[in-house]
Structure 1
Amino acid sequence: MNAANASQNTEKKDDKNLKNIHIVQVDGQKISFLPNHNTLLECIESANIEVHYHCRDGYCGACRIRLDDGQIHYPNGEPLAYVGENEILPCCCVPNSNVTLSID
């Protein structure tokens, strides 16, 4: 592989990683959801924003917060805990887009 091909491959990987970065706005503070964040909870905690939690697996529902805007998904399937309309469990979800969240 020559230097030009290596550069193009690196640029493609960087473009792909940039597409996976979403902005998470929590109570007015903006945070980047980075590829090293496994869940929204990890992202929020990285900004030193407190979210109550217990299990970190979607079983207890203690981390329930409001999704005001944007889309998320649960990569390991829907959580077992009850989730009301416009609520999410950040311990087990990731953003599909930029999201705006509210923590009570």
Structure 2
Amino acid sequence: MNETETLRITIEGDGTIEQKSDSSMLESLEAHGIEVHYHCREGFCGACRTKLLSGKVTYLTDPLAFIDDDEILPCCCKADQDVCIKLL
């Protein structure tokens, strides 16, 4: 993703928002009024664990919390392409 690219994040049952390249997925969700449960904002606690239904993400920092293969931590990642997620 280049510096000016905007990608779509589709939230199952909640619509679609845009993510700018300079913010984490959690920051983008919050900016659009989507409430996500979180604690640390750094990938330590796993409270923001979310299902990744389609697409790919890049981690800004390596998460320390355990996540399944089909889960992401939006606090420390951003989309590489349009994604579809399910909030848990």
Is structure 2 residue 76 aligned with structure 1 residue 92?
yes
Q: Normalising to structure 1: TM-score of the pair? A: 0.76
Report the 3-state secondary structure (helix = DSSP H, G, I; strand = E; otherwise coil) of the residue aligned with 1:42: helix
- Amino acid aligned to 1:103: L
Q: Normalising to structure 2: TM-score of the pair? A: 0.89
What residue ranges of structure 2 are gaps of 5+ in the alignment? none
TM-fit CA distance, 1:75: 2.2
Give the aligned partner of residue 72 of structure 1: 57
Report the 3-state secondary structure (helix = DSSP H, G, I; strand = E; otherwise coil) of the residue aligned with 1:91: helix
Question: Which structure has more helix as a fraction of its residues?
Answer: 1
Give the number of equivalent residue pairs.
Answer: 86
Q: What is the CA–CA distance in structure 1 between the aligned matches of 2:55 and 2:32, rounded to whole Å?
A: 19
Q: How does 1:49-60 map to 2 (within 5 A)?
A: 49-60=34-45
Question: Which structure has more strand as a fraction of its residues?
Answer: 2
The structure whose RCO (Cα within 8 Å, separation 6+) is larger is 2
Higher-Rg structure is: 1
Q: What is the CA–CA distance in structure 1 between the aligned matches of 2:55 and 2:8, rounded to whole Å?
A: 10
Q: CA RMSD in A?
A: 1.5
Is structure 2 residue 34 aligned with structure 1 residue 23?
no
TM-fit CA distance, 1:35: 3.3
Q: What is the CA–CA distance in structure 1 between the aligned matches of 2:21 and 2:58, rounded to whole Å?
A: 15
Displaced runs of 4+ in structure 1, greater than 4 A? Answer: none
Give the aligned partner of residue 34 of structure 1: 20
Identity of aligned residues (%): 38
